[in-house]
Amino acid sequence: MADIPQDRWTTIEALVDQALDRPAAERADFLRVACGDDVTLRQAAEEWLAACENPSLFPDGQAAVFAAPLLSGSAGRFSDSEPPAPERVGPYRILHELGRGGMGAVFLAERDDGQLDRRVAVKVMRRGADDATLRRRFVDERQILARLEHPHIATLLDGGVTPDGRLYLVMQYVEGVPIDRYCDDLGL
């Protein structure tokens, strides 16, 4: 994929989101009309759309090519002065924090209502992230994750809203090394 400036990824993200809201047979025509004469924009949107429709098209490690521009757009928007982790999110008891990103924090948790015995990763949107655009991105992330089925992408299991109004996602917990450390270790 060609190098795309950061500010263009927002446009590409919106185009792909709109395309996914249409029947599969109409998506290519939608992108052709929406992108007009901008061949680079259309090609990037088509590649991303193809990957969303068929996650197996991501060669090993290439998901990061699509994710990096999106993730970097929200980094640094919040201070690190977040309050302590919640004790519970829905039926999940928080065990400890796994990491923080631009939109929220991810916690290791376990369901403790007697229904299931499993550990999960719970991503909770940060306080102060109530900007409509950020909430929309979080909801979009949830919808994209709900459609993805790929052996290298954690499965979305649940989601909701905390009592204080923050959105959350519950995902399959995959034990391993944080992605940034993995990339650093391999020189990626």
HSE of 54, CA atoms in CB hemisphere, 13 A: 7
Number of C-beta neighbours around residue 58 at 10 A? 17
Average pLDDT of span 110-133: 79
Burial of residue 132 (number of CB atoms within 10 Å: 0-12, 13-18, 19+): exposed
Q: What is the pTM of this model?
A: 0.54
Whether residue 102 is found in the same domain as residue 159: yes
Q: Of 21, 52, 74, which closes a domain?
A: 74
Q: Which domain holds residue 57?
A: 6-74
Whether residue 95 is found in the same domain as residue 152: yes
- CATH number for position 156: 3.30.200.20
Q: Give the residue with greater pLDDT, 48 vs 84.
A: 48
Q: How many domains does the chain have?
A: 2
pLDDT in tens, 15-58: 887 888 788 888 899 999 999 999 988 988 888 888 777 655 55
